[in-house]
Structure 1
């Protein structure tokens, strides 16, 4: 449709990339690529494409965009890594509509898919969730994904124009505080993995419900005054939604605040989860919340095939021996703490998520944060969340550590499992959005 914006999505980042064209692709300079399999590698200041079928070598300039000559053309990138650094990381072939752009950055090649925002959304909804989800849930997700994307493009533009260097790390002898956002990407708008939004092109088949959800919300975004909302989402908040600034940069967004994921506050709990004893009772309990569900029919709407490998998400537990946790923290942080003596909660966010954790070893002590840095440090991939308490027990003269936690992900904004339950209970997409993004309004941008 007219005025629909186009975006650039980073798909793969490797020294050599293999892809197959299904159709003819052409650049405005006159370079044409026909159907077949290609391998691209860096050759000095240019890129070298080898046509695998006949061995033909084609040299192209860095940054060329190849566009399909026919609407039914598509390309397949081989061995795309998905779930980077997560427990279900794997490689798979993925196919894409739209244009293919090849650039070099950090001595590697980046493959970029150029396509319209709405075509992108049809894949994102099917990739982030099951394409068989309820229509109201799909519509809500279309709006927040569109809003988040357009807000990130605006933020990226402002960062590039800013004179001050964007800082996301604070380090001293006593502290290492870092947050992870999308300022990492300067040569494209968003990446295709969970770092931004999970996008798998046409690999995940669209259903008529996904198409209907996108078309019914075409151009709709959440607005906070004149600004498009930075609409975040995670798998499961664990019963309490988290504030934006406790996870990312110290900027308050009035629509990304903390509240119970329910229409009513659960009985028997003090809700100031920045307090250690309140957080412990909350995490060890099972408070009533939209996302507190074991309903398989609801969960399958949100959990794709590899996500279903995770069984416990509302409440979970992980145990480490003293030796194992000492080796893990050295490997994951790069700091040699020696033998870990203790893990001490220093600061919690409003959902009970740890945003500062002190690690005490016999060689070194250090307070780390924010939530994702803590999750990365305490797992070979990513701990489900940083909303956990620490229990210690001595076994054969060695201290063992058990982390008992709540939720899956950062917990800010929309809780996908909670929203799926709301959809199943009959809430429409506007009610779902207004529950998670309070004080916002829906507006049509194009």
Structure 2
């Protein structure tokens, strides 16, 4: 029996390592009422020092919120980020939760590529300066303390609280970005987005694009009006974003194209003039879950953190683990 249990655990670990999106599905199995959050100490791998350090839960959360959301945002937006951050770490601390196999002995890493960013008090001082430090530190501390023990659940299970900077007007379905789907990670309209500069442009010569994508656009004949037509959307997501884009003779997932070209989002349009192509993107990030600039806009309109979270995470509840 022990051997069978061991083999099952090994299987889960292999799935998480080989398929990161499996952790999204695994998170849906976890019951929330298994650890008192205020009693918990977080073992965090500091990716800058290479050391594992233990932090009280609230100190960890304060560092995450400070790293992940501008401290100038309204306090209700910061509260929403704090609850999302608490939900994320609790997934990794409840019995049977999402394991951190890359850094044995740690619950989580401070590397944002592996989960949530985190900064220390010293880094906060350097980032904000001595004048703003006290204001911002206690503002974020209030956001964490006033949501004590609260997490996000869907049908009594902890959710995977995906978030991003700016959706550009509407969030995306999880299954259109990753391999896994989740009933609470569905695209929603976002008329609240308070991003002051949602649109960005990046220009490449066709030769530069050929080099990055291994295409042959620079040899494509130019048609009337000095406009070439080798680029088109072949598939859209359920919310209308490009899902697959054909460039020359090759077709790319929009998520892959974003990564290769260093674009800010998959909400992409383009224009070709002469031997150059300009990509225009709206928003910043993968577009799934909580939109941080949308949270800012909702808070500015008088919405509280629960209303913010329940807008971006479909059908969820905010519950206390304490």
TM range (shorter): 0.7 to 0.9
User: Structure 1 residues 186, 388: closer, same or farther in 2, change over 3 A?
Assistant: same
How far apart, in 2, do the equivalents of 1:355 and 1:8 lie?
Answer: 38
Residue 38 of structure 2 contacts residue 149 of structure 2 at CA under 8 Å; is this kept in 1?
no
Residue in 1 that maps onto 2:252: 368
Q: Alignment partner for residue 118 of structure 1, among 58, 67, 72?
A: 58
Is contact 1:152-1:230 (8 Å) kept? no
Q: CA deviation at 1:290?
A: 1.0
Q: Relative CO higher for 1 or 2, CA cutoff 8 Å, sep ≥ 6? A: 2
Aligned partner of 1:139 in structure 2 is: 79
CA 1:112–1:368: 2 relative to 1, 3 Å: farther
What corresponds to 1:378 in structure 2?
A: 261
Q: Which residue of 1 aligns with 2:141?
A: 211
Aligned mates of 2:179, 2:90 — CA distance in 1: 19
Where structure 2 has 5 or more consecutive residues not aligned to the other structure, the ranges are 1-35, 126-135, 221-229
Select 1:190's aligned residue among 108, 115, 121.
108
What TM-score, normalized by structure 1, do the two folds share? 0.54
Q: CA deviation at 1:292?
A: 4.8
Q: CA 1:429 to 1:2, structure 2 compared with 1: closer, same or farther past 3 Å?
A: closer
1:244-297 deviation per Cα after TM superposition (whole angstroms, max 9, x unaligned) = 11111232x221111211xxxxxxxxxxxxxxxxxxxxxxxxxxx211553xxx
- For residue 239 of structure 1, the aligned residue among 160, 163, 169 is 169
In the other structure, the counterpart of 2:280 is: 404
1:316 paired residue number: 200
Structure 1 counterpart of 2:317:
441
How well do the aligned residues superpose, as a CA RMSD in angstroms? 2.7
**What are the ranges of 5 or more consecutive residues in structure 1 without an aligned counterpart?**
14-76, 78-109, 161-182, 262-288, 295-311, 330-335
CA distance in 1, matches of 2:180, 2:139: 38
Write 1 or 2 for the structure with the bigger share of helix: 2
Q: 1:391 to 1:125 in 2, by over 3 A?
A: same
For the pair shown, the structure with the greater C-alpha radius of gyration is 1
**Corresponding residue for residue 258 of structure 1:** 187
Task: After superposition, give the CA deviation of every residue in 1:307-362 in whole Å (9 maximum; x if it has no partner).
Answer: xxxxx3x2222221111212233xxxxxx4355653332322234333323333xx
Distance 1:198 1:134 in 2: 20
* 1:116–1:369 Cα change, 3 Å: farther
Equivalent of residue 178 in structure 2, options 238, 242, 248: 248
Q: How many equivalent residue pairs?
A: 264
Q: State the alpha-carbon separation in 2 of the partners of residues 338 and 152 from structure 1.
A: 46
The 4+ residue runs of structure 1 with deviation greater than 4 A are 152-155, 157-160, 338-341
Equivalent position of 2:130 in the other structure: none
Q: Which has the higher strand share?
A: 1
Aligned twin of 1:220: 150
